[in-house]
Chain A
């Protein structure tokens, strides 16, 4: 049986250098499938989708809201050809009711120990309209290595340089932040994977560079220290979301290969300034993730914030506009106040203003978003800054003896397409 598993394309952020990372969700789902299912994976961001290629069942895996409408289009095309289509992934959970109108089946929740039932139902011609396992996440101990073999790895190179592989040591998040939907997604409890499972998966990844995609590395200090101690012998280099701001944790993180962290910067406080400095003190670079358009931000606040970012010696910055994703407190608050004016999910890519900000017009916020990108990268482009980060990691890899030179045969290729060198 062939499961054609599709990861729909979406419009990337304007102004940002476009990179495509190998997605984790489809690989995690594939690992939960019965062994006799052949997975034919297509990442539409880097591959053309041919609807005539063989498929017994079509799976559509959607991570972000901006993918969902394209997912529905793909489903429509396959269903017109008589194929059954099942949706899963984060954005399916956020848009479940709408997606049920476009699918033969919708899967909500985590895949481990659930896919046998789904595939068996399909084989008997009794695929259910809805599989809702959100209230009952699986035992985290049964989560095994993701099946990265379903990915065509050569498509995730930019001019010979391999992109990071995504990796997860825990699920869930005990925080419940204003713009974030993780708490709705069954993630309210921090669920660390057993270390033997983490080690087993790390050993399967032949990429020296990882993105540890855990929602936060600041949830359990003791666990974090043990995790980093366990990771040291693997000699990986990795980026991640925020790491617990504790000297011992940061020291262990650096030893375990912390390359750079995404640090949310929402104001120009000394707290943020000092935190960035501490990361740097431990040799960890910082990419600021800057959310513009929060209700407490005025135009002046945003302009001051951009100046601050230029001052504090950041390695990279990524700007997004506040976006009220479904099932977040941001959505609820703005919905009640009638402030959401755009419900086209294609525009929910965090680069388009879809709501009325409290202290400026939507157009002004959109202008400030573009201005922020331009100002931050006016003296050194994003690609130049990234190159510096790459040079840092190469230096570390050379010291560790793990350096893998860029692929010469892919020097003129970016994500599967020929480009100028």
Chain B
């Protein structure tokens, strides 16, 4: 299923921050969270980012809704790189302040 997400890449010291943003209704397919290993692999290949320098952050923007489930969140996705793809994601909640500069 074709899927869409927002991508922002920032250089920070010797790391490359890759911020992947969920697009909710604008995404016809799977979520970034559901496809994190594949998306991350595609991004480093497409943009020529050395995998060992990449730091992935999944951004869920706030959405206009009655419920707090749609509050803005940021998560680091820590994954293992096997030379071809990323796998075994472990998630760590974070805030925008941790990668603002």
A residues apposed to B, CB below 8 Å: 108, 132, 134-135, 174, 176, 178, 183-184, 186, 188, 294-296, 326-327, 329-333, 335-338
Contact string against A for B residues 10-53, beta-carbon threshold 8 Å, 1 for contact and 0 otherwise: 00000000000010110011110110000000000000000000
Residue of A with least CB distance to B77: A336
Q: Which of A108, A176, A296, A336 has the most CB of B within 10 A?
A: A336
The answer, among B2, B28, B75, for a CB contact under 8 Å with A188, is B28
Question: Using Cβ atoms and an 8 Å threshold, which residues of chain B touch A329?
Answer: 24, 31, 69-70
What's the interface size class on B, roughly? 20 to 34
Known contacts A135-B2, A183-B25; A335 and B69 CB within 8 A of each other: no
Question: Using Cβ atoms and an 8 Å threshold, which residues of chain A touch B75?
Answer: 336
Question: Using Cβ atoms and an 8 Å threshold, which residues of chain A touch B67?
Answer: 178, 294, 296
Known contacts A134-B1, A336-B75; A296 and B68 CB within 8 A of each other: yes
Contact string against A for B residues 85-98, beta-carbon threshold 8 Å, 1 for contact and 0 otherwise: 00000010100000
A295 touches B1 (CB 8 A): no
Contact string against A for B residues 75-88, beta-carbon threshold 8 Å, 1 for contact and 0 otherwise: 10000000000000
B25 touches A332 (CB 8 A): no
Task: State how many angstroms separate the Cβ of A32 from the closest Cβ of chain B.
Answer: 20
B69 touches A178 (CB 8 A): yes
B30 touches A184 (CB 8 A): yes
A333 to B63, CA, bound (A): 14
Question: Using Cβ atoms and an 8 Å threshold, which residues of chain A touch B60?
Answer: 332-333
Residue of B with least CB distance to A175: B25
State whether the Cβ of B58 lies closer than 8 Å to any Cβ in chain A.
yes
Seed contacts A294-B67, A327-B30, A332-B60; 14 additional CB < 8 Å A-B pairs:
A132-B1, A135-B28, A135-B29, A178-B67, A184-B29, A184-B30, A295-B69, A327-B31, A332-B22, A332-B33, A333-B60, A333-B69, A336-B33, A336-B93
Question: Using Cβ atoms and an 8 Å threshold, which residues of chain A touch B30?
Answer: 184, 327
A169 to B75, CA, bound (A): 40
Which 8 A-B residue pairs are closest in the complex by CB-CB distance? Answer: A332-B33, A336-B91, A178-B69, A134-B1, A336-B75, A332-B31, A176-B25, A296-B68
Question: Using Cβ atoms and an 8 Å threshold, which residues of chain A touch B29?
Answer: 134-135, 184
A330 to B69, CA, bound (A): 8
A-B contact pairs, 16 of them (CB 8 A): A135-B1, A135-B28, A135-B29, A178-B67, A178-B69, A178-B70, A295-B69, A327-B31, A329-B24, A332-B22, A332-B31, A332-B33, A333-B73, A336-B33, A336-B58, A336-B91
Task: State how many angstroms separate the Cβ of B73 from the closest Cβ of chain A.
Answer: 8
Residue of A with least CB distance to B31: A332
Question: Using Cβ atoms and an 8 Å threshold, which residues of chain B touch A327?
Answer: 30-31, 34
Question: Using Cβ atoms and an 8 Å threshold, which residues of chain A touch B69?
Answer: 178, 294-296, 329-330, 333
Residue of A with least CB distance to B91: A336
Task: State how many angstroms separate the Cβ of A231 from the closest Cβ of chain B.
Answer: 29
Question: Using Cβ atoms and an 8 Å threshold, which residues of chain B touch A184?
Answer: 29-30
Known contacts A135-B1, A176-B24; A337 and B34 CB within 8 A of each other: no
B25 touches A188 (CB 8 A): yes
Question: Using Cβ atoms and an 8 Å threshold, which residues of chain B touch A188?
Answer: 25, 28
Known contacts A188-B25, A332-B34; A295 and B58 CB within 8 A of each other: no
Residue of A with least CB distance to B68: A296
A186 touches B28 (CB 8 A): yes
Question: Using Cβ atoms and an 8 Å threshold, which residues of chain A touch B70?
Answer: 178, 329
A336 to B58, CA, bound (A): 10
Question: Using Cβ atoms and an 8 Å threshold, which residues of chain B touch A338?
Answer: 91
Question: Using Cβ atoms and an 8 Å threshold, which residues of chain B touch A326?
Answer: 34
Known contacts A132-B1, A295-B68, A296-B67; A335 and B25 CB within 8 A of each other: no
